[in-house]
Structure 1
């Protein structure tokens, strides 16, 4: 094998996974501004859903679902980008 062939082979072995491994190939839903739309998701067919995306953030507050059922829900601090890595916290 020539050096040129080996160089091209190595290039494609490195470039191909980078090109196609950095996207969301399964079309898994992501949270956008605190909303995770699972209306088209079939857990039996599509599997587990990761909690990737933008989640609402409330600084220094522990809130319950009832806190959002009132006419004036709590004021959010902003949105927190989250990427599930499989790492346990706590």
Structure 2
């Protein structure tokens, strides 16, 4: 019969762990901000481009609505 040596518990309150957690949260926060800016600018540019191409406010709104509906439909299989 073999015995295993007990491993030392990780001290989650150590300064190294806290520093890694702060950097990770900062990275996640900045990536979410950049992604949100990209998403919003995509909606705006799509609506402005559709308005410019068609000359209709209704069709410009339809393009933004299509982006929202498409994202909602794609989210179901990905979830």
- Interval containing the TM-score (normalised by the shorter chain): 0.3 to 0.5
Larger radius of gyration between Structure 1 and Structure 2: 2
Query: Higher strand share goes to which structure?
Result: 1
- Higher relative CO (Cα under 8 Å, sequence separation at least 6) belongs to 1
Query: Higher helix share goes to which structure?
Result: 2
